[in-house]
């Protein structure tokens, strides 16, 4: 709001689930507004000044993550308890109370506040004359809401300002009263009571008590005169989690749909389906321009790209984002070059602005996110500036979820390969090696544990276990005494990890309070991916399924420091949004964090094919993930044929943690029989070494007829999917109860298979015989374990 001078730190809005505290509270449904933003809002209380809990009069609550405070320090606020939802809008007997003005000029309208308020007017009035009271020293006069004024009049209302409410009241169908600087006289209060009794409607707008700008006592005289069950609280509602760019702008979708206030309708926001045409007024830098759209000059953040910061804004630059470049001053020079490029291409030109179906219209700062099409000399506006800046080496791809991401990424790869523009100095092969050392400690932020489809995971498949002090909070999942944080299925080339190990939010350079570079998360994750892969390409991170800006997912944009580590190991890290066989082909590993959006069947098939062709799949869960996101991730696990799953739980540790944060747990409980804990040297798996890779490719546990009478039709097939022969002499095969077969002198060539039959026969290069007198493999389910001659587990497969 206008008198708020401090802009809080940006906090990404998060989607929260259905509250259980009031049956009427539901999240937005199809055809409804998605959410509302309440800029500088008060809450409401009951007629005694206590917590308002009567859901029959409450239309909107804040999210469960919101709190309220006595911001002016006057000691006159009612503070809501943790278990009581905070009401923001109430409606009773022709009077609607709203904690915020909602529709002040200059808003970006992306949350539909104007649509909501007009819905309220329609439901309570349905048209006619609305008086806007300016006779009581209000700051929010009709001129401060001119955009909404026009919007309302275009939808059938006659909205008039009045400086003499008593004289004009008889002409009105409704009256708007915002925070009154002067009190209402006894006569005026009586007139308002009569107005409502005769069928008139009042809309009362409060504001937060920030700097004591509110006039709550004067406003409360009105509902008090009318004998209503609600009043306005002298407080400020804040939400550090769900907000519109500052904690004083809480965002909520907790609506009481018993009120007909929430229909999604045409509003004042730009139409994402339209193309807007305007003349560029100013090029601010290489990725931001000013263009008038639909009568308003908008700052347009050019979608999908990032140009280097100029020297004047060097504090916002991170060299880690620029592959193979470590020189900040060099990037600053290219920040100026990118600005010059933008001016040369766009200044004064008429451009077409379009939007992306996968991105919001605006970013958290209210800037329009758009594609800019212009005439680059062809006579038509057919050149996409966003991609042109990438193609010419003036920008990198910004790894959010936008639809054109992968085509932009291809353009960037071409520019990097050819040393175009700023990439002339990119030399990832000679990047400084950082943090590559033996794994001593790992931290798992906001972690979940790992399970299987059959329940608890066998400890032999768990390379990392939580400390004994870790606490598990279940949400219907599997309970553990020793909590597994990572599970491995070598036969499916898949691992499940319970936390986002490489989230840059936990870097001190990003403002985190603790230096986490002392932990070896980067080394462990790289060893894990490499150990499962037979490919030597890049590591890919999926960012196309709602992971960007999610509280429980990562895109490459969130992993800049891990990218710099990988450069030092001669491994590329790239984002991928379109999960297709061609986009995954040849990659070393695909990392998928909790996807808010489900994978299609075609995408799941592509991941399964990728794993079958030697790629590692690393599925990364989170204790903060929504149920849907966890299900989406586990659906991918099912598609690749593993029994591993992310558990339905969350983990905390009051003792072993980072910086006293119980949600960022630490552990040193490692099973070092897994080759995951040395400094990375490219030899942890066949992906790095080009070595052997023996897996279980088939289990035929149910022989034809009676198993004990047809033992050679009960068998297990082992396949070497690597690129080198495997000497399996002395290796052992075991079932779950410890029945053991030991290989004699035997070499399994690359690409070859060998079948181990339960019964007796003559061994050959393709068939071996256990010589058992009875069936081994349980038809109702069992696990095949394969150990090398040193006793290290090579692979295990359950059925």
Annotated domain spans of the chain: 25-256, 276-426, 443-688, 691-798
Mean pLDDT of all residues in 758-777 = 95
Instruction: Count, in order, helices (H) and strands (E) of the chain.
Output: 14, 49
Q: Does residue 4 register a pLDDT over 60?
A: no
Task: Detail the DSSP E strand segments found in 47-103.
Answer: 58-61, 67-69, 87-92, 95-98
According to DSSP, residue 581 is labeled: H
Distance of alpha carbon 289 from alpha carbon 741, whole angstroms: 70
Backbone φ and ψ of 593, nearest 5°: -90, 170
Tens of pLDDT along 122-167? Answer: 999 999 999 999 999 999 999 999 999 999 999 999 999 999 999 9
The confidence score (pLDDT) of residue 269 equals 87
Distance of alpha carbon 392 from alpha carbon 286, whole angstroms: 12
Distance of alpha carbon 281 from alpha carbon 656, whole angstroms: 55
Q: Which helix (H) or strand (E) is 305 found in, with range?
A: strand 305-306
Task: Detail the DSSP E strand segments found in 475-631.
Answer: 484-489, 494-497, 539-542, 573-576, 589-593, 616-620
Closest-CA residue to 336 (of 386, 293, 284): 284
According to DSSP, residue 432 is labeled: P
CATH number of 276-426: 2.40.50.90
The DSSP-derived string for 308-354 is PPPGGGGGG--GGGSTT---HHHHHHHHHHHHHHHHHHHTT-EEEEE
pLDDT band at 684 (very low <50, low <70, confident <90, very high): low
Would you name the residues annotated as active-site residues?
A: 301, 309, 367
The confidence score (pLDDT) of residue 795 equals 85
Q: Does residue 457 register a pLDDT over 90?
A: yes
Q: Are 633 and 594 in contact (CB under 8 A)?
A: yes
Q: Does residue 792 register a pLDDT over 80?
A: no
The confidence score (pLDDT) of residue 23 equals 29
Tens of pLDDT along 25-46? Answer: 333 445 899 999 999 999 999 9
The confidence score (pLDDT) of residue 691 equals 54
Region of poorest pLDDT, from 236-245, 336-345, 613-622 = 236-245
The confidence score (pLDDT) of residue 431 equals 87
Q: How many CB atoms lie within 10 A of CB 609?
A: 16
Strands 201-205 and 95-98: parallel
Q: Is the dihedral of CA 761, 764, 768, 771 positive or negative?
A: positive
The pTM assigned to this predicted structure is 0.70
721: buried, middle or exposed (CB in 10 Å: 19+, 13-18, 0-12)? Answer: buried
Tens of pLDDT along 237-270? Answer: 999 989 987 899 999 999 999 999 999 998 988 8
Q: Which helix (H) or strand (E) is 698 found in, with range?
A: strand 694-700
The confidence score (pLDDT) of residue 791 equals 80
For 96-132, letters b (16+ CB in 10 Å) and e give bbbbbbbbbeebbbbbbbbbbbbbbbbbbbeeeebbb
Q: Is the dihedral of CA 52, 57, 60, 63 positive or negative?
A: positive
Cβ partners under 8 Å of residue 662, min gap 6: 652, 653, 654
For 542-564, letters b (16+ CB in 10 Å) and e give bbbbbbbbbbbbbbbbbbbbbbb
Distance of alpha carbon 294 from alpha carbon 285, whole angstroms: 23
Rounded to 10 deg, the angle between the 113-124 and 146-154 helix axes is: 50
Q: Does residue 19 register a pLDDT over 50?
A: no
The confidence score (pLDDT) of residue 686 equals 52
pLDDT band at 3 (very low <50, low <70, confident <90, very high): very low
pLDDT band at 685 (very low <50, low <70, confident <90, very high): low
Distance of alpha carbon 16 from alpha carbon 768, whole angstroms: 56
HEC assignment per residue over 454-478: CECCCHHHCCEECCCCCEEEECCCC
Q: Does residue 13 register a pLDDT over 70?
A: no
Region of poorest pLDDT, from 80-84, 182-186, 209-213, 356-360 = 209-213
Helix (H, G, I), strand (E, B) or coil at 644: strand
Tens of pLDDT along 719-731? Answer: 998 777 888 999 9
pLDDT band at 18 (very low <50, low <70, confident <90, very high): very low
Tens of pLDDT along 368-415? Answer: 999 999 999 999 999 999 999 999 999 999 999 999 999 999 999 999
Strands 282-285 and 288-293: antiparallel
Q: How many CB atoms lie within 10 A of CB 4?
A: 17
Closest-CA residue to 746 (of 786, 698, 799): 786
The confidence score (pLDDT) of residue 1 equals 22
Q: Does residue 305 register a pLDDT over 50?
A: yes
Q: Are 195 and 184 in contact (CB under 8 A)?
A: no
CA distances from 685 to 500, 590, 721 (A): 22, 16, 12
The confidence score (pLDDT) of residue 687 equals 38
Q: Domain 691-798, what fold?
A: Immunoglobulin-like (2.60.40)
The confidence score (pLDDT) of residue 30 equals 53
333: buried, middle or exposed (CB in 10 Å: 19+, 13-18, 0-12)? Answer: middle
Q: Is the dihedral of CA 521, 527, 532, 534 positive or negative?
A: positive
**Alpha carbons within 13 A on the beta-carbon side of 231:** 22
Closest-CA residue to 191 (of 207, 213, 175, 205): 175
Q: Are 90 and 47 in contact (CB under 8 A)?
A: no
Distance of alpha carbon 383 from alpha carbon 462, whole angstroms: 52
Q: How many CB atoms lie within 10 A of CB 745?
A: 8
The confidence score (pLDDT) of residue 315 equals 76
The confidence score (pLDDT) of residue 215 equals 85
The confidence score (pLDDT) of residue 370 equals 97
- Cα first-last separation, the chain: 60
Q: Are 319 and 325 in contact (CB under 8 A)?
A: yes
The confidence score (pLDDT) of residue 12 equals 30
The radius of gyration of the chain's CA atoms, rounded to the nearest angstrom, is 31
Percentage of residues in the chain with pLDDT exceeding 70? 95
pLDDT band at 16 (very low <50, low <70, confident <90, very high): very low
The mean predicted confidence, pLDDT, of the chain is 91
Tokens representing residue 501 in the block: 């190990």
């Amino acid at each position: 709001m206008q008198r708020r001078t401090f802009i809080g730190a940006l906090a990404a809005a998060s989607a929260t689930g259905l509250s259980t505290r009031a049956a009427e509270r539901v999240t937005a449904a199809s055809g409804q507004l998605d959410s509302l933003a309440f800029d500088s809002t008060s809450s409401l209380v009951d007629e005694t000044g206590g917590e308002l809990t009567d859901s029959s009069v409450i239309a909107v609550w804040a999210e469960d993550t919101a709190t309220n405070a006595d911001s002016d320090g006057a000691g006159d606020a009612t503070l809501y308890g943790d278990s009581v939802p905070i009401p923001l809008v109430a409606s009773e007997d022709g009077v609607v109370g709203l904690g915020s003005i909602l529709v002040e000029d200059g808003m970006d309208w992306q949350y539909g506040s104007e649509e909501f308020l007009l819905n309220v007017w329609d439901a309570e009035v349905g048209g006619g004359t609305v008086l806007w009271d300016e006779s009581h020293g209000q700051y929010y006069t009709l001129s401060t809401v001119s955009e909404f004024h026009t919007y309302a009049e275009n939808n059938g209302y006659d909205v008039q300002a009045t400086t003499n409410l008593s004289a004009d009241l008889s002409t009105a169908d409704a009256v708007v009263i915002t925070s009154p600087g002067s009190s209402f006289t006894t006569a005026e209060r009586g007139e308002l009571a009569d107005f409502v009794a005769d069928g008139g409607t009042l809309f009362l707008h409060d504001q937060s008590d920030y700097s004591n700008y509110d006039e709550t006592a004067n406003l409360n005289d009105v509902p008090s005169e009318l004998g209503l069950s609600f009043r306005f609280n002298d407080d400020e509602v804040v939400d550090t989690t769900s907000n519109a760019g500052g904690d004083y702008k809480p965002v909520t979708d907790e609506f009481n749909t018993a009120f007909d206030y929430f229909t999604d309708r045409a509003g004042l926001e730009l139409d994402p389906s339209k193309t807007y045409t305007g003349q560029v007024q100013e090029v601010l830098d290489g990725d931001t321009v000013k263009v008038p759209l639909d009568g308003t000059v908008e700052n347009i953040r050019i979608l999908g790209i990032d140009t280097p910061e100029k020297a004047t804004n060097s504090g916002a630059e991170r060299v880690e984002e620029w592959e193979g470049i470590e020189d900040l001053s060099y990037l600053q020079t290219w920040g100026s070059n990118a600005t010059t490029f933008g001016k040369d291409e766009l200044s004064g030109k008429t451009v077409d602005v379009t939007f992306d179906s996968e991105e919001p219209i605006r970013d958290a700062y209210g800037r329009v996110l758009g594609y800019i099409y212009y005439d680059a000399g062809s006579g038509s506006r057919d050149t996409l500036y966003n991609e042109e800046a990438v193609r010419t080496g003036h920008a990198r791809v910004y790894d959010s979820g936008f639809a054109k991401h992968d085509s932009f990424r291809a353009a960037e790869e071409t520019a990097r390969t050819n040393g175009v523009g700023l990439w002339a100095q990119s030399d990832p092969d000679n990047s400084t090696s950082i943090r590559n050392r033996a794994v001593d400690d790992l931290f798992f932020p906001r972690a979940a544990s790992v399970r299987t489809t059959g329940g608890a995971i066998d400890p032999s498949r768990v390379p990392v276990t939580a400390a004994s002090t870790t606490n598990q909070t279940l949400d219907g999942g599997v309970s553990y005494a020793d909590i597994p944080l990572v599970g491995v299925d070598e036969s499916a080339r898949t691992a499940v990890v319970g936390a986002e190990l490489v989230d840059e939010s936990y870097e001190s350079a990003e403002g985190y309070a603790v230096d986490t570079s002392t932990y070896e998360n980067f080394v462990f994750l790289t060893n894990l991916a490499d150990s499962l892969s037979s490919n030597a390409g890049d590591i890919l991170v999926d960012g196309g399924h709602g992971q960007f800006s999610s509280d429980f997912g990562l895109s490459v944009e969130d992993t800049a420091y891990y990218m710099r580590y990988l450069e030092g190991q001669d491994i590329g890290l790239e984002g991928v949004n379109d999960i297709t066989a061609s986009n995954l082909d040849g990659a070393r590993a695909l990392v998928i964090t909790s996807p808010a959006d489900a994978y299609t069947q075609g995408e799941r098939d592509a991941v399964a094919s990728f794993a079958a062709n030697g790629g590692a799949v690393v599925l990364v869960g989170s204790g903060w993930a929504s149920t849907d996101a966890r299900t989406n991730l586990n659906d991918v696990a099912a598609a690749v044929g593993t029994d591993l799953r992310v558990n339905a739980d969350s983990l905390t540790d009051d003792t072993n943690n980072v910086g006293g944060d119980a949600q960022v747990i630490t552990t040193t409980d490692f099973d070092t029989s897994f080759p995951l804990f040395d400094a990375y040297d490219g030899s942890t798996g066949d992906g790095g070494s080009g070595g052997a890779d023996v897996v279980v490719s088939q289990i035929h546990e149910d022989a034809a007829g009676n198993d004990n009478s047809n033992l050679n039709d009960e068998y297990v097939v082992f396949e070497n999917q690597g690129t080198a022969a495997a000497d399996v002499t002395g290796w052992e095969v075991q079932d779950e109860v410890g029945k053991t077969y030991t290989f004699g002198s035997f070499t399994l060539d690359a690409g070859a298979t060998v079948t181990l039959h339960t019964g007796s026969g003559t061994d050959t290069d393709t068939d071996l015989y256990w010589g058992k007198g009875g069936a081994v493999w349980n038809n109702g389910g069992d696990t095949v374990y394969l150990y090398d001659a040193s006793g290290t587990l090579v692979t295990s497969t359950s059925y």
